Amino acid sequence: MNSRKKIFSTVTLMMLTLILFVISFEACGDREEFGIGPVKDELKLEPVNDNMVARGRELFNVKCVACHKFDVKLVGPPLKDVTKRRRPEWIMNQILNPQEMTQKDPVSKELFAQYLIQMTFQDVNQLDARAILEFFRAVDENKVTP
């Protein structure tokens, strides 16, 4: 009987350890998916906002178009379907904090290794980054053409 208790205790301890590992791993993954920067909370996205799309298009055409296109590689990666590949929080953090993202975020490090150029900060605030994200969403949902 004593060995049964010992086995039960060992199995229980192993299961608890596994559960804690999975929980901690998931939490860590969520933070990594958000990237490194000021956007730390999950964005609650509503349907595409046309006013934000218009502002985002203006900002993109002034600050981003020299390095990014949607369907082809220019200096940086093509942006078609970026909102389907990356979390909105990650996209905004990449726009708001590109240098630190390249240094610490695994996806940004990979992109830097592939494109061999550091994305520069374009002097935008969180509202600007949110508008650019909204423009990306509208393009990816075929509501506007780039």
Digit-coded pLDDT (tens) for 60-95? 999 999 999 999 999 999 999 999 999 999 999 999
For the chain, how many structural domains are there in total? 1
Q: Is residue 2 part of a domain?
A: no
Residue-wise pLDDT tens digits, 89-124: 999 999 999 999 999 999 999 999 999 999 999 999
Q: Is residue 23 part of a domain?
A: no
Model confidence at 25, pLDDT cuts 50, 70, 90, reads: very low
Q: Is residue 13 part of a domain?
A: no
Q: Is residue 101 part of a domain?
A: yes
Residue 88: domain span: 35-140
- Distance, in Å, from the CA atom of 95 to the CA atom of 104, rounded to the nearest integer, reads 15
Q: What is the mean pLDDT of the chain?
A: 86
Instruction: Spell out the alpha helix ranges (H) of 35-117.
Output: 50-59, 82-85, 88-96, 98-104, 106-115
Residues 78-97 as b or e (16 or more Cβ within 10 Å = b): ebbebbeebbbbbbbbbbbb
Q: Is residue 107 part of a domain?
A: yes
Helix axes 126-140, 50-59, angle to 10 degrees: 110
If you count them, how many residues does the chain have? Answer: 146
**Closest by alpha carbon to 122, among 97, 141, 145, 142?**
97
Q: Is residue 115 part of a domain?
A: yes
pTM of this prediction? Answer: 0.78
Q: Is residue 6 part of a domain?
A: no
Mean pLDDT in residue range 50-66: 97
The CATH number of residue 124's host domain is: 1.10.760.10
Q: Is residue 57 part of a domain?
A: yes
Other Cβ atoms within 10 Å of 66 Cβ, number:
11
